[in-house]
Amino acid sequence: MTKLEFVDCHRLPERSFFFKGKQFPLCARCTGIYVGYAIFIPIIFFIKINIFFALLAIMPTTIDGLTQAYCNRESNNILRFITGIFAGLGLAGISDFIAYYIVVSFKFLYHLL
């Protein structure tokens, strides 16, 4: 697979992983984010992640990205991947939090009718 049309990723070769000489279709950070999503799927059935922990999990990626952009610092792909995993977990946790309250709101509205 060399191209994913539905993903908004820069896919820079120097910020991507390679396997058998072929570049991944995502950069290291986006790969980590999708791995974080995949890790969250089985966890969701056993653990509800607190919204504050979800927001906290996004912070390492935010700090890494902003310090690269504004502080003349270059990260490496392993750090991008690891912080991406945390961001994926955090973003999935926030999505779960939002979805939960949407369902609760609809149940409440249903009982009012």
- Mean pLDDT, range 26-32, rounded to an integer: 91
Q: How far apart are the first and last CA of the chain?
A: 50
Residue 39 confidence class, pLDDT cut points 50, 70, 90: very high
Q: Is residue 12 part of a domain?
A: no
Dihedral angle, C-alpha 35, 8, 26, 76, nearest 10 °: -90
Q: Is residue 16 part of a domain?
A: no
Q: Is residue 2 part of a domain?
A: no
Q: Which domain holds residue 104?
A: 23-112
Q: Is residue 81 part of a domain?
A: yes
Q: What is the pLDDT of residues 59-106, one digit of tens each?
A: 999 999 899 989 989 899 999 999 999 999 999 999 999 999 999 999
What is the number of structural domains in the chain?
1
Q: Is residue 10 part of a domain?
A: no
Q: Is residue 102 part of a domain?
A: yes
Q: Is residue 4 part of a domain?
A: no
